[in-house]
Amino acid sequence: MTADDVSAGRKLFSGPVNFLRSAPSLEFLPDPDAPEIAFAGRSNVGKSSLLNALVNRNGLARTSNTPGRTQELNFFDVGDPPVFRLVDMPGYGFAKAPPDVVRRWRYLINDFLRGRQALKRAMLLVDTRHGLKDVDRDVMKMLDEAAVGYHVVLTKADKVKASELAEVQDKVATEARKHPAAHPLMITTSSEKGMGIEELRAAVLTAINPLPLAGEDDSA
Ligand code: GTP
Ligand code: MG
């Protein structure tokens, strides 16, 4: 990334961001007319919080202490007209929800992740305190099979000690390397402390390339 890219990216993330719509099922998806980046992960891992941190707007995507807050696919347009779209997803692996709800969410999440043409990359969020769980592995395998690229993103890094963080990073990265669709760059974040947010922004910009970035055509 050049300095121009970095400043164009910063402008984009601090410019207009608008809620587009909620899709409780696939027939309510918006037209696939902008590239999309989806935030997936277990319930309560911090998807909505990280989306808010990325665009620097508190309360844009609704967050909660109670798992199961986000129940639909929520689409947010970044840029006006939209340059790309962020998709906040319901969490998977929420054991306390009624079984039919769990099943409905699982279908919604899986069908979206593996069948959405406009989806450029998924961010697969993993709580630093918990590391990878079998539900995460299932989703990773599904993304591998669908050839949908994803970044593993560690969340809530502020909640662990530095030594523990290093250990989890090592363990998760080692396992992620065995997954063909996992991007080699794993990103460690804390929405609370603003850690890893610039890196995540850069990863989003790279994923939605080519971008009409300022200065791109001025170099000749
Ligand atoms: P669902 O929509 O229910 O699947 O949850 P989610 O993955 O969207 O999680 P959400 O962003 O709602 O955050 C869950 C809880 O974790 C909230 O109480 C957040 O304040 C908290 N949280 C999120 N990110 C961080 C973080 O980086 N550090 C700390 N300490 N807490 C965080
Ligand atoms: Mg949420």
Name the residue with the closest Cα to ligand 1, atom 12: 63
**pLDDT tens for residues 72-112?**
999 999 999 999 999 999 998 877 788 888 888 889 999 99
Q: Read off the tokens for 81.
A: 């007209």
pLDDT digits (tens, 9 = 90+) for 131-188: 999 999 999 999 999 999 999 999 999 999 999 999 999 999 999 999 999 999 999 9
Burial label, 217 (beta-carbon count in 10 A; 0-12, 13-18, 19+): exposed
Exposure string of 31-60, with b = 16+ CB inside 10 Å and e = fewer, is eeebbbbbbbbbbbbbbbbbbbbbbeeeeb
Cα gap 177→165, rounded to integer Å: 18
The amino acid present at 144, given as its one-letter code, is D
The β-bridge relationship of strands 150-155 and 119-127 is parallel
Whether this prediction's pTM lies above 0.85 is answered by yes
CB of 74 sitting under 6 A from ligand 1: no
Distance CA 40, CA 44 (A): 11
Which domains are present in the chain?
3-208 (3.40.50.300)
Report which of 163, 84, 160 is spatially closest to residue 126, judged by C-alpha positions: 160
**168 alpha carbon to ligand 2 midpoint, in Å?**
23
- Tell how far the Cα of 210 is from the centroid of ligand 1, in angstroms: 31
- Tell me the CA–centroid distance for residue 163 and ligand 2, in Å: 28
